[in-house]
Structure 1
Amino acid sequence: MTGSVPHRPVQSGHARPEAPAGPPIFTVFTATFNRAHTLPRVYDSLTRQTLRAFEWVVVDDGSTDGTRELVEGWAARAAFPVRYLYQPNAGKPAALNRGVQVARGELFLNLDSDDTCVPTALERLLHHWHAIPEAERSQFTGVTGLCLDERGKLHGRPYRRAVMDSDSLEMHFRYRDRWERWGFHRTDVLRAFPFPVDPDARFVSESVVWFRIARRYRTRFVNEALRSYHVAERRPDQLTALSRGAMRGRLPYHVMVLTELREWWRPAPLEFVRSALAYSRYSYTLGVGRTEQLRAVHGPMRVLVALAQPAGWLVSRLDRRLP
Structure 2
Amino acid sequence: MEYKYTFTVFTPTYNRAHLIHRVFESLKSQTLMDFEWLIVDDGSKDNTKEVVEEFKKSNFPIRYIYQENGGKHRAFNKGVKEAKGKFFLTADSDDRFLPDALEKLKYYWDLIPDNEKENFSAVTGLCIDKNGNIIGDKYPKDIFDSNSFETTFIFKIKGKKWGFQRTDVLKRFPFKEFEGENFIPKSSVWFEVSKFYITRYINEPLRIYEINEDSLSSNAIQLMINNPNGTIYNYYKEFNLPIPLKYKIKFMINCLRFSFYNKELFFGCIKIQNKLLLPFIFPVAFLMYIKDNLKK
TM-score under structure 2 length normalisation: 0.91
Residue 315 of structure 1 pairs with residue 296 of structure 2: no
The one-letter amino acid paired with 2:118 is: S
Residue 264 of structure 1 pairs with residue 237 of structure 2: no
Residue 273 of structure 1 pairs with residue 249 of structure 2: yes
The one-letter amino acid paired with 2:289 is: S
Shift of 1:318: 4.0
The one-letter amino acid paired with 1:274 is: K
DSSP 3-state at the match of 1:64 = coil
Matches within 5 A, 1:161-310: 161-234=141-214, 242-243=222-223, 244-258=225-239, 260-261=240-241, 263-265=242-244, 269-288=245-264, 291-297=267-273, 301-310=274-283
Shift of 1:281: 1.1
CA contact (8 A) 1:27 1:106 kept: yes
Q: Distance in 2 between matches of 1:188 and 1:292?
A: 33
Q: 1:305 to 1:155 in 2, by over 3 A?
A: farther
| Alignment: residue pair count | 292
Q: 1:276 to 1:50 in 2, by over 3 A?
A: same
CA contact (8 A) 2:42 2:66 kept: yes
Q: Distance in 2 between matches of 1:101 and 1:289?
A: 30
Counterpart selection for 2:26 from 27, 31, 45: 45
CA contact (8 A) 2:188 2:238 kept: no
CA RMSD of aligned residues (A): 2.3
Shift of 1:289: 7.2
Q: Distance in 2 between matches of 1:199 and 1:317?
A: 26
Q: 1:213 to 1:292 in 2, by over 3 A?
A: closer
Report Cα offsets for 1:177-206 as digits up to 9, x if no partner: 232111101110001111111233211111
Q: Distance in 2 between matches of 1:147 and 1:72?
A: 29
Q: 1:144 to 1:66 in 2, by over 3 A?
A: same
CA contact (8 A) 2:256 2:270 kept: no
Shift of 1:319: 3.7
**Gaps spanning 5+ residues in structure 2: where?**
none
Q: Distance in 1 between matches of 2:277 and 2:18?
A: 45
| Identity, % of aligned positions | 37
Shift of 1:233: 2.3
**Gaps spanning 5+ residues in structure 1: where?**
1-21
Q: Distance in 2 between matches of 1:287 and 1:227?
A: 42
